[in-house]
Homo-oligomer: A and B are copies of this chain.
Amino acid sequence: MTHDALLSLLHDVAQGRRTPDEAVEAARGFVDLGFANVDVDRAERRGLPEVVFGLGKTSTQVADICRALHERGQRALATRLEPEVAEEVRSRLDDLPIEYDATARCLAIQPAVRAPDETRCRGPVLVVAAGTADRPVAAEAAFAARLCGNPVEELHDVGVAGLHRLLAHLDQLRSAAVLIIVAGLEGALPSVVAGLVGRPVIAVPTSVGYGASFGGVAALLGMLNSCAAGVTVVNIDNGFGAAYAATLMNRLD
């Protein structure tokens, strides 16, 4: 916590804008929910609030963390929520304006007042999926990138086995500010795309495949060994992580 932030906090208490309890929490930078310490300082430090990874959490836990973020004026995003879990979360938060995208398995709650700085971007984030089966991961990336304030465009089913499908969109590829390339199987698409453009390319391997794809390992290794310089890679199926990184690369402030 910076000196200025602390001073401002103390003024708030002095003038009754915060209770002492609220000030202690703000000074610590996290909210203790018992089962979780919500990092409410993250938006300050990183420019983007904490995100709830839904896998392995109960709907009650997801709902409680979302509410805690919302109550502190932050945007809530939860990923990896199956529709039935999302439905339970929604019923627990039925007073809040929830969006849910079943393909992306993402849920979001916009804050009452949107942060203006999230919308100053260098240009569109383009999410490209190699095959039809890669769509859920691409959808997660697109949902999260949009929520973080980026203009988002999408291209689907433009894998390297039929290059003309990709080359037909060359202008779109070249006008993007950041590209997120989602591919399973051998994961060759990021190399081909990166060779054609002069912007950051984030490669997302997916677990699409069978046999020697080993749940996405073949695609992951392909992307890490890309012959096109400058490709960076995130974990298998990690559409959200790619969107988060793209936002950091895209925003101007």
Q: Could you tell me which A residues sit within 8 Å of B by CB distance?
A: 28-30, 34-37, 39, 41-42, 45-48, 50-51, 53, 55-57, 61, 130-133, 135, 156-165, 168, 185-188, 191-192, 194-202, 205, 207-238, 240-242, 244-245, 247-249
Contacts and interface: CB of A to CB of B under 8 A. Distances in A.
20 contacts: A29-B164, A30-B168, A35-B156, A41-B164, A46-B194, A48-B230, A61-B132, A131-B227, A161-B191, A186-B187, A186-B221, A186-B223, A202-B232, A212-B221, A212-B225, A218-B218, A220-B224, A224-B234, A230-B248, A232-B233
B232 A132 contact: no
Contacts of A57: 132-133
Contacts of A157: 35-37
Given A29-B164, A249-B249, 10 more contacts: A42-B162, A42-B195, A45-B196, A46-B230, A160-B227, A162-B195, A163-B196, A188-B191, A211-B220, A233-B233
A210 B248 contact: no
A197 B207 CA distance: 28
Q: How many copies of this chain are found per oligomer?
A: 8
B48 A208 contact: no
Contact of A222 (B131, B218, B240): B218
Contacts of A39: 161-162, 165
A227 B30 CA distance: 17
Q: Which residue, A48, A161, A240, has most C-beta atoms of chain B within 10 A? A: A161
Contacts of A194: 46, 161
